[in-house]
Structure 1
Amino acid sequence: MSSKLEKAKGFKKSRTGLYFSIATSLIGVPGTVKRAKEARKEGDTLQLIDVAVSAAGIVTGVVLLVRELRRLDVDDILDD
């Protein structure tokens, strides 16, 4: 059972796992855009701030995952 657990832990750091994580992070974008449009239409400043913080979290998460993906590519080149 522990080999399956180790395999699952390694998936997150694999190329496929990173692409999956990026896609999962981007799923929240349409909802955030919808909330931003509604908040702007209503003139709700507090909701706009909440949307901005959510968007910043999504962007930061994706950028971190892309950085990890690039590091994985550099490690692959060095292993040759």
Structure 2
Amino acid sequence: MSALSKAKGFKKSKSGLYVSMATSAFGVIGVVKQIKKARTENDTLRLIDAVVTGAAVVTNLAILYRELKSFGDDDVLLG
């Protein structure tokens, strides 16, 4: 099995989904910083950009969570 096919398989695994969710969750930190900066500068366009980016992060997390749930209920972290 080549390294490329192993990497593609990791993205479809539970641990790969956990890693993807963690990296997406770190995106929230950037969005919060962007919102704070836009508010202090009264920059409406930057605030709109931060809100749209935040919506994209939340949507991505929801999609990853749905994929994780499709693996089944045998996972400890999902309850």
Q: Flag whether TM exceeds 0.5 (same fold).
A: yes
Higher-Rg member (1/2): 1
Question: Paired residues, what number?
Answer: 74
Q: Is 1:15 aligned to 2:14, yes or no?
A: yes
Q: Which amino acid aligns with 1:23?
A: A
Q: Which amino acid aligns with 1:36?
A: I
Q: Is 1:24 aligned to 2:6, yes or no?
A: no
Superposed, 1:1-80 pairs within 5 Å as: 2-73=1-72
Q: Which runs of 5+ in 2 are unaligned?
A: 75-79
What CA RMSD, in Å, does the superposition of the two structures yield over aligned residues? Answer: 1.5
Percent identity, aligned pairs only, is: 55
Which structure dedicates a bigger proportion of its chain to helix?
A: 1
State the alpha-carbon separation in 1 of the partners of residues 8 and 46 from structure 2.
37
TM-score by length of 1: 0.83
TM-score by length of 2: 0.84
Aligned-residue offset at 1:58? 0.4
Aligned-residue offset at 1:72? 1.1
Q: Which amino acid aligns with 1:70?
A: K
Which stretch has the larger CA shift, 24-33 or 3-12?
3-12
Q: Which runs of 5+ in 1 are unaligned?
A: none
